[in-house]
Amino acid sequence: MVAEVTVQREGRLARLVDSDPFNLLIAGVIIFNAVVLGLETFPAMVDSYGGTLVLLNNVCYGIFVVELILRFASYGRRPQDFFRNGWNVFDLIIIGGVWIPGVRENVTVLRLLRLARVARLLRFLPDARVLLSTVVRSLPPLGSIVVLTVLILFLYGMIGWAMFGEALPNSWGTITRAMLTLFILLTLENFPVYLEEALTVTPWATVFFVSYVLVAAFVIFNLLIGIIISSMESAREREALREAMDNTGPDADALARIREIREALETLETDIHRLQHRKVTPPETTQ
């Protein structure tokens, strides 16, 4: 996941690299670089304007290098905070990766790095960041969905093998073929075809297929949609909090720390009064 940690910065350079005109300029260069990469896929364009395309790509790369240097310098006396932002680390890998020994000589890796520059456009699109964060946050809960899906496929696959394996070996002859058929049926693809074939073997095929569709297709997909919606709400809340932190200015962290210190002092004062009360109260005497 590309973690984004808000770090408050001051100074003209910080305001420059965080300004909308600067971000729009970099986004425009990224789009232009994507167009150049796309033109390089046409042999006729390469034959006629190959040198120009290489020059334009190098110009875009130079702009990206200058941008990265400005962003790094905007952290002033705390350059280590540059690495607290996942997007900064991502930019550093994509832009600085070409200087790693062995990468510049590897044409395939070099093309992948050039292509990955286009992904930097997500940095300047808040909605795209929310969607990306939603996908990443959905991955841990999806593990349970995958396990549940495999379990359902295996159980129904064994039942399907027992019911249709001998008559329909191409679709149900083994557990792997049966699970593959059921996996295809998750999308309801060719459902009438499989049902019609199974009905020639046993009339109980209707119960088998209908129950599978209700349990697997509908239940699993609804759970998946629920996880995605929940992750998207969490991602939107995180993005809103980040924007709020950006809009409150450099004093936001200080105010939060003061609030925490005040709460800690109140708790400490309560504990001190409680201890003093225990010392003052005389012990109970027995008659």
Q: Which residue has the tokens 């690495």?
A: 83
To which H or E segment does residue 167 belong?
none
**Which residues lie closer than 8 Å to 94 by C-beta, 6 or more apart?**
113, 116, 117, 119, 120
Do the domain assignments include residue 5? no
Q: Is the pLDDT score of 107 beyond 60? A: yes
Q: Is the pLDDT score of 275 beyond 50? A: yes
Q: Is the pLDDT score of 94 beyond 70? A: yes
Q: Is the pLDDT score of 226 beyond 80? A: no
How many structural domains compose the chain?
3
The verdict on 208 and 271 lying in the same domain is no
Domain boundary among 82, 97, 124: 124
Mean per-residue pLDDT of the chain? 79
Work out the average pLDDT over 189-200: 88
Q: How far is CA 165 from CA 40, 56, 197, in A?
A: 52, 61, 12
Domain that holds residue 72: 12-124
CATH number, residue 157: 1.10.287.70
Do the domain assignments include residue 1? no
The verdict on 35 and 115 lying in the same domain is yes
Rounded Cα distance, 200 and 198, in Å: 5
The verdict on 149 and 234 lying in the same domain is yes
Buried b (16+ CB within 10 A) or exposed e, 29-59: bbeebbebbebbeeeeeeeeeeeebeebbee
Predicted TM-score of the model (pTM)? 0.54
The verdict on 113 and 134 lying in the same domain is no
Per mean pLDDT, which range of 110-119, 156-165, 188-197, 248-257 is the poorest? 248-257
Looking at residue 234, its pLDDT comes to 72
Length of the chain as a residue count: 287
Q: Give the pLDDT confidence of 160-177 residue by residue, as tens digits.
A: 999 998 889 998 989 999
Do the domain assignments include residue 6? no
Work out the average pLDDT over 96-112: 73
Looking at residue 98, its pLDDT comes to 79
Buried b (16+ CB within 10 A) or exposed e, 100-117: eeeeeeeeeeeeebbeeb
pLDDT band at 285 (very low <50, low <70, confident <90, very high): very low
Q: Is the pLDDT score of 71 beyond 60? A: yes
Per mean pLDDT, which range of 61-65, 98-102, 124-128 is the poorest? 124-128
Q: How far is CA 253 from the centre of its chain?
A: 26
Per mean pLDDT, which range of 189-198, 215-224, 249-258 is the poorest? 249-258
The verdict on 116 and 145 lying in the same domain is no
Rounded Cα distance, 90 and 81, in Å: 14
The verdict on 221 and 175 lying in the same domain is yes
Q: Is the pLDDT score of 55 beyond 90? A: yes
Do the domain assignments include residue 2? no
**Looking at per-residue confidence, does 166 or 276 come out higher?**
166
Above pLDDT 90, what percent of the chain? 17
pLDDT band at 287 (very low <50, low <70, confident <90, very high): very low
